[in-house]
A = this chain, B = another copy of it.
Amino acid sequence: MTKSRGIEEGIRVAVSTVILTLRRETEEPRIALPLVRRIRDPHRDCWALPGGWLDPRESLEEAAARTLAETTGLAPSYLEQLYAFGAVNRSPGRVVSVVYWALLRPDTVDALGAQSTAPHDAAGAAPENVAWYDASDLPPLAFDHAQIIDYALWRLRNKVGYSRVAQGFLPPEFTLAELREAYETILGRRLDPANFRRQVESAGNLVPTDAFRTGSHRPARLYRNDTDVELADRGPLAPEETRTS
């Protein structure tokens, strides 16, 4: 079908966003993301990443931010371009999708009323046909969106090794145990608490506060990000790309 198309038929540009957050309702935190149920062909009734056509009057990043706002009503704590996907047969028409990925703090997601790990329609201002899914238990996905999500999770796992991107999953103040838990969930393995504390403290990017988390365990000091340092160094693109909530 696509073989017979000529150059003159053109190529369309879409923007999609992989929006990741950490859900903590259960004993084990999990990475979750919102998906949108398609109401049109192709792939009608399949789930897809939030996204839409690029408007000629908006930049790629503006389109990604608009998509995110339309889906969740929220601004992400970290937004970065992931990759441009442009395989010839990824869609019936020729579509290049520029995909962004974003991290949402769980506290802002909770405000949406989207706490359940079971898929459900988002409450409030969010559009219908949006549901949050556990990243390890996804429904059938439209187009190449399963591959795109795989790649986003891989990029996240890699990026925690050389940036502070895991802090995009945490509220403004957090304990070292909560930070370690975010790393463990991203990496899919346990980290030694004492080694983790040493590494984080020697990196010097956390600011200890005077507050403590109290509860069933002994009080744990709360830390916050050093906001003078970006969560990940994006070099010459930083001024355009920075979005912090």
CA A62 to CA B151, docked complex, whole Å = 20
| A7/B56 contact (C-beta < 8 A), A81-B83, A83-B81, A96-B13 known | yes
Q: Is A182 an interface residue (CB 8 A)?
A: no
What is the 8 Å Cβ interface bit string for chain A, positions 68-108, against chain B (1 contact, 0 not)?
00000000000001011011100000101010000000000
**Minimum CB–CB distance for A147 against chain B, Å:** 6
Q: How many copies does the complex hold?
A: 2
**Minimum CB–CB distance for A65 against chain B, Å:** 13
A88 partner, pick from B57, B86, B158, beta carbons under 8 A:
B57
Q: Chain B contacts of A60 at CB under 8 A?
A: 84, 86, 96
A56 and B86 within 8 A (CB): no
A59 and B88 within 8 A (CB): yes
State which of A20-28, A187-195, A233-241 sits at the interface with chain B. Answer: A233-241
Size category, A interface: 35 or more
A162 partner, pick from B11, B58, B162, beta carbons under 8 A:
B162
Q: Chain B contacts of A240 at CB under 8 A?
A: 87
A54 and B86 within 8 A (CB): yes
B59 and A86 within 8 A (CB): yes
Q: Chain B contacts of A237 at CB under 8 A?
A: 83, 151
What is the 8 Å Cβ interface bit string for chain A, positions 21-57, against chain B (1 contact, 0 not)?
0000000000000000000000000000000001111
A96 partner, pick from B2, B98, B151, B154, beta carbons under 8 A:
B98
**Minimum CB–CB distance for A12 against chain B, Å:** 8
Q: Chain B contacts of A197 at CB under 8 A?
A: none
Q: Is A9 an interface residue (CB 8 A)?
A: yes
Q: Chain B contacts of A84 at CB under 8 A?
A: 60, 81, 84, 98
A236 partner, pick from B11, B96, B150, beta carbons under 8 A:
B150
17 sampled A-B residue pairs with Cβ under 8 A? A10-B10, A10-B12, A10-B56, A11-B13, A11-B54, A13-B13, A13-B86, A13-B96, A57-B88, A59-B86, A60-B96, A81-B83, A86-B98, A87-B240, A151-B235, A158-B233, A161-B162
